[in-house]
Chains A and B, each alone.
Chain A
């Protein structure tokens, strides 16, 4: 036994530590170095899923049902497999439209309906009470187990320690959840504290597990070996049936499905997963870290349960406190205290987040609409942020007291796990409306209302009321059917037996829920606002930044300012308008209250008071035109047109930029060309002029010398005219002005002729020419003179580059597919890879600048232009040192299909 004073002191010290962690988290957030901006912390905060139910209840469940404690954790595993798809969409939607609670999410989707928001909030409050009661029960039972105190249920209510614990937890949640006047931002400090608590409870549970498994026993195998001696324990680890007979497959499935939905729908899960999400990319890693956490915290559940039963021999009656009593009975009091702190972490973490989430809903969706509809409140124009904060604080206190009430009424009759499952089944009712709303555009407000109402009524009738009846608050006869009507017996509706009460309730409630949701959605007509919200939700990923604004009307700037100031506080309202002015590029004083600004103000207010209330407020501050369905379609159309325009504009800009670049490089090319041409022209001109001057200055020049000079002048003039001709030629071909005399050409004959006319060149260089020509090739349609020009150019190039005296040139003609290919291969130095692309450029000659052979540098570009004009292509294959192979191909085509230019 541990002294109560010590337990209380340690608990209090631990809570103070939590406050310190939270304060540190808030401080870091203010400095812009967020503590929770990490997928690891994000995943730890998700582990708020493991409440006292997990911590104490799992062992209890394992002691009575073996592996049946597991489905509650397998469901989240399955849900996490889809987290990247579903949860990310929820986060994106919530972020885009400043949604801060699950009630807000559902109400916003179905046309910002205040009625729907209120309904969801009511279901949540009623449904979550058993869960909060569970935490209170667990902590008070843990306290009793630790201090050896007897149950105090017979004491007067003001002496009940649980009540004071509930009150102190309420105070704690108030400190955590409503520290800021700033209502719509994330609670960074709270999340940091929750993540810290998750780490503590995992460590504590693992410590107890290791202590039991390896301290009290010789490992898991030892526990199991000893358990097999006792048949009632040995039978635990089977499913409890003979094959298909007897095994509650339906219940197993129901539990898996239930926990899969709950892990997304529970208010606290929505809070930590969606509202407190810093960066949606964290989901990627958190989605597998979180199931890993669940696995770790469950590994020692069975060993502790079986080990406890072996040691205490109580058949599992006190199993829900084995985590505490096992270390305590072995004298390990400090470990027991640590285990208690773990349990306290589990319970307080759940209570804090849950009450903060629920108080937001109660404030925004129950209290605010009531206040706003009372005229007096709407007329006073003061800053309301402090009022809002106080409403939330009161709501936290109220929810905890109601939870305490449920604990007093029904807490004793049920095990922890059964209480928790009642809450799970309640929040599972949100699944059709929430998930359906994210993917099905046709879902309507009427469907969501009907489904939620029907499902939750069936839930209350089949699960909640029986839990009260069990504990004697409703006549026990109720369980056999009200007014003696047996077919209405709440746990066997219409005589349906064979299910346990949870599966039975889940089946009926979800069936009614989905049935009404789908049925009413299919036959109902949607309003314009529902249609627009449906679009914004379902297509949240398609829209990006350019979202359509579904608002038309007139508003005055000062009205908007006043509105924002009331709910956001003066400073944030000012920042809001400043940001808008900056983004739209207008001065702060000349802002116009257009649809985009109204939408922005509405969203920001929605972060503080919920979308439905924000809608009401904006409606009252501006003169709105009500939209018809046609208007909505028109706005969507405009938005998509704007998007299309924007995209086209972007494409056009890119094209223009590319064209500009091209022009610039063409301009550069032209300059290069001009300077090359003038340079090439100047060389022969200079020598002609020099020789002419020389001859003029020396009248008594020797005839032999004169003849030599005149010959040089002649050949230089010829070179000049050749150059000029080639430049003209190229210009003509490039501009498409050249004349083409296309006829059927025998390529083989052309090659033979070209070889004959260049034979002298090769002979001079001492080169050998090999022609590899087939017997017969089809005719091609081409200009024979131009082709000869190409062939002679390639051959004379080859002659220039082959080594003196041992040159070797191979000319080949091939018929390949529907084209003729001519290749001219030499054994010269080849062309380096980096130069290959340039050889077809004008005035680019192969080889080093110093030792290149004479030529204009226009031969290859002209040849290529000719071939391209004839519909073929020309290319170069070359490896340095292994010669070059120039080749060109010409298409075979009939005379009719020619398109000579």
Chain B
């Protein structure tokens, strides 16, 4: 069984790196403002939204696992020898 039957390692690593950046210093300070979104404080809302985004991305990547291995179009040699 090859690695191809799941999401690609590169995509997952990239997502993890992005998550680490988004959830940490200093990008976190962007949301540390006295603002509200729909009456809710910005910082927790931002954290939860990023969280939902990462879950959605992971779910999407996991679901479309066949995308790389299975759908390779088969080229036929049309030419008659």
Please report A residues at the B interface, Cβ cutoff 8 Å.
66-67, 70-71, 74, 77-78, 80-82, 84-85, 88, 220-221, 224-225, 237-239, 243-244, 247, 249-250, 252-253, 256, 284-285, 287-288, 291-292, 295, 299, 302, 541, 544, 836-837, 868, 873, 875-876
The listed residue (B1, B15, B65, B79) touching A544 by CB distance below 8 A is B1
Q: Are A81 and B28 in contact (CB under 8 A)?
A: no
Among A71, A81, A88, A221, the residue within 8 A (CB) of B15 is A81
Residues of B within 8 A of A84 (CB): 6-7, 12, 62
Query: How far is B6's CA from A85's CA once the two chains are assembled, in angstroms?
Result: 9
Whether A284 contacts B19 by the Cβ 8 Å rule is no
| Contact between A239 and B19, CB atoms less than 8 A apart | no
Q: In the bound complex, do residue A237 and residue B20 qualify as a contact, i.e. CB atoms below 8 Å apart?
A: no
Q: Which residues of A contact B55 (CB under 8 A)?
A: 77, 288, 291-292, 295
Q: B43: which A residues are within 8 A, CB to CB?
A: 67, 237-239
A244 contact from B13, B29, B40, Cβ within 8 A: B29
* Cβ–Cβ < 8 Å partners of A239 in chain B: 28-29, 32, 43
Question: Which among A238, A250, A875 has the highest number of chain B CB atoms within 10 Å?
Answer: A238
User: With a CB–CB cut-off of 8 A, which chain B residues contact A295?
Assistant: 48, 51-52, 55
Q: Which residues of B are found within 8 Å of A253, using beta-carbon distances?
A: 24-25
| Chain A hits for B39, CB < 8 A | 220-221, 224-225
**A81–B12 touching, CB < 8 Å:** yes
8 example contacts (A-B, Cβ-Cβ < 8 A) are as follows A74-B51, A78-B16, A81-B12, A82-B13, A224-B40, A238-B32, A875-B80, A876-B80
How many residues from B make CB contacts under 8 Å with A?
39
When distances are taken between beta carbons in the complex, the residues of chain A under 8 Å from B40 are: 220-221, 224
Q: A244-B26, A285-B62 are in contact. List 4 more A-B contacts (CB 8 A).
A: A82-B12, A225-B39, A239-B28, A868-B81
- Are the CB atoms of B26 and A284 closer together than 8 Å? no
- Give which listed residue, A70, A287, A291, A836, contacts B47 with CB less than 8 A: A70
Q: Across the interface, which residues of A come within 8 angstroms of B62, CB to CB?
A: 84, 284-285, 287-288
Interface residues of B in 4-39 (CB under 8 A from A): 6-7, 9, 12-13, 15-16, 19-20, 23-26, 28-29, 32, 34, 36, 38-39
Given contacts A77-B51, A284-B65, contact A541 B23 (CB under 8 A): no
Question: In whole angstroms, how far apart are the Cα atoms of A291 and B56 in the complex?
Answer: 10
Cα distance, A627 to B65, chains bound together (Å) = 43
Task: Tell whether B67 is near chain A: CB-to-CB under 8 Å.
Answer: no
Evaluate contact between B41 and A237: CB separation under 8 angstroms.
yes
Report the 5 A-B pairs with minimum CB-CB distance, sorted nearest first: A249-B25, A221-B39, A81-B16, A237-B41, A288-B58
- B75 beta carbon closer than 8 Å to chain A: no
Q: Which of B3, B15, B47 contacts A541 (CB 8 A)?
A: B3
Which residues of A sit under 8 angstroms from B15, Cβ to Cβ? 81
Q: Name the CB-closest residue of B to A250.
A: B25
Chain A residue numbers with a CB within 8 Å of B25 are 247, 249-250, 252-253
B residues within 8 A CB of A238? Answer: 32, 34, 43
Majority secondary structure, A binding face: helix
Minimum CB–CB distance from B48 to chain A (whole Å) comes to 7
Q: Check if A249 sits within 8 Å of B65, measured CB to CB.
A: no
- Measured between beta carbons, the chain B residues less than 8 angstroms from A291 are 51, 54-55, 58
Bound-state Cα–Cα, A346 to B26, Å: 34
Chain B residues lying within 8 Å of A256, measured Cβ to Cβ, are 20, 23-24
CB of A44 to closest CB in B, whole Å: 16
Return B46 CB to nearest CB of chain A, in Å.
Answer: 10
B10 to chain A, nearest CB (A): 10
Decide yes or no: A224 and B36 within 8 Å by CB, A74-B23, A84-B12 being known contacts. Answer: yes
**CB <8 Å contact, A875 and B79:** yes
In the assembled complex, the Cα of A237 lies from the Cα of B24 at a distance in Å of 16
Contact A249 B23 (CB under 8 A): no
**A788 CA to B25 CA, complexed, in Å:** 83
CA distance A683 to B7 in the complex (A): 67
Q: Determine if A81 and B19 form an interchain contact, defined as CB atoms under 8 angstroms apart.
A: yes
Contact of B54 among A81, A252, A868, A875 (CB under 8 A): A81
Chain A residues, CB < 8 A from B81: 868, 873, 875
The distance in angstroms between the C-alpha atoms of A459 and B16, with both chains bound, is: 27
Question: Contact: B29 with A243, CB < 8 Å?
Answer: yes
Q: Is the CB of B24 within 8 A of A249?
A: yes
B residues 54-81 in Cβ contact with A at 8 Å: 54-55, 58-59, 62, 65, 79-81
Say whether A77 contacts B19, CB under 8 Å: yes
A77-B48 Cα distance, complex, nearest whole Å: 12
Contact among B9, B26, B54, B59 with A77 in the assembled complex (CB-CB below 8 Å): B54
Given A85-B12, A292-B55; A78-B29 close (CB under 8 Å): no
Residues on B with C-beta less than 8 A from A873 are: 79-81
Q: How far is the CA of A249 from the CA of B25 in the complex (A)?
A: 5
A67 in contact with B24 (CB, 8 Å):
no
B residues less than 8 Å from A221 (CB atoms): 38-40
Question: Which of B13, B19, B65 has the largest count of A CB atoms less than 10 A from its CB?
Answer: B19
Contacts of A77 in B (CB 8 A): 19, 23, 51, 54-55
> In the bound complex, what is the Cα–Cα distance between A302 and B41 (angstroms)?
11
| A82 contacts across to B, CB distance below 8 A | 12-13, 16
| Closest residue of B by beta carbon distance from A241 | B32
Task: Choose from A66, A252, A299, A836 the contact partner of B28 (Cβ within 8 Å).
Answer: A252
Assembly CA distance A67 to B44 (angstroms)? 7
- A31 to B: closest C-beta gap in Å: 29
Q: Which B-chain residue is minimally distant from A873 (CB atoms)?
A: B81
Instruction: Write the nearest CB–CB distance from A844 to chain B, whole angstroms.
Output: 14
Expressed in whole angstroms, the Cα–Cα distance for A575 and B39 within the complex equals 66
Q: Note all chain B residues with C-beta closer than 8 A to A225.
A: 39
Contacts of A875 in B (CB 8 A): 79-81
Q: Which B residues are CB-close (under 8 A) to A70?
A: 44, 47
Residue contact B36 to A81, C-beta cutoff 8 Å? no
A82, A244, A873: which has the most chain B beta carbons within 10 Å?
A82
Give the docked Cα–Cα distance between A295 and B62 (Å): 19
Residue of chain B at shortest CB distance from A236: B41
Which residue in chain B gives the minimum CB-CB distance to A239? B32
Residues of A within 8 A of B16 (CB): 78, 81-82
List chain A residues, Cβ under 8 A from B7: 84, 284
Contacts of A288 in B (CB 8 A): 55, 58-59, 62
* A284 partner residues in chain B, CB cutoff 8 A: 6-7, 62, 65
Per the bound structure, the CA–CA distance linking A288 and B81 in Å amounts to 52
